[in-house]
Amino acid sequence: MKSEKSKAFIPAFSDGRELYFMFSMLEYDGVPVIFVCSDDYKNWYLCDCVEFRDYQRWTISRTTTAVLSDILNQTLSVYDALSLSKECRVVELDYETNEYNQRMVPFSCLKHTELPQKGAMLRYYDVIPNRKKVQ
């Protein structure tokens, strides 16, 4: 699947990779909460927006279409999908300074505030429109 290259959704990682928004699995008030991005190398990333009130924070892990399909088929939770990565990238956007900070964190060291609820599945009506996007 080709991503739109108009503007990176999440700016360059320290290795120069930019992430481009592909589709949202779950939104709250128009804010993508659980969504999928890709990079210029056709890698897929599962992104979980764990904070968006005072600042934005995303927990991001590289993923596969098989894992995304399992999430959409409700056989794998987002927590479990993120746990498949040894490390996750945590990206924060400060609303006041408009600056991004990022760090790599071993999954086992992520704080509970940087993770989705353990075992929670997406609701049926959230997944139907997205199933074809990962096939």
What domain range includes position 74?
20-113
- Is residue 123 a part of any domain in this protein? no
Would 129 be classed as within a structural domain?
A: no
Averaged over successive runs of 10 residues, the pLDDT of the chain (135 residues) comes to: 53 75 86 89 92 86 93 91 94 88 93 89 60 55
Question: Taking every pair of C-alpha atoms in the chain, what is the biggest distance, in angstroms?
Answer: 40
> How many domains are contained in the chain?
1
DSSP 53-110: SSEEEEEEEEE-HHHHHHHHTTSS-HHHHHHTSSEEEEEEEETTTTEEEEEEEEGGG-
Does residue 47 lie in a domain region? yes
In this structure, is residue 128 part of a structural domain?
Answer: no
Give CA separation, 91 vs 9, 48, 104, 111, 119, in Å.
Answer: 12, 10, 9, 14, 23
What is the reported pLDDT for 40? 87
In a domain? residue 64? yes
Q: What is the reported pTM? A: 0.83
Task: Give me the pLDDT at residue 3, please.
Answer: 41
Mean pLDDT over the full length of the chain:
83
| Residue 118 in domain | no
Alpha carbon 68 to chain centroid distance?
A: 11
Examine residue 62 and state whether it is found in any structural domain, yes or no: yes
In a domain, 119, yes or no: no
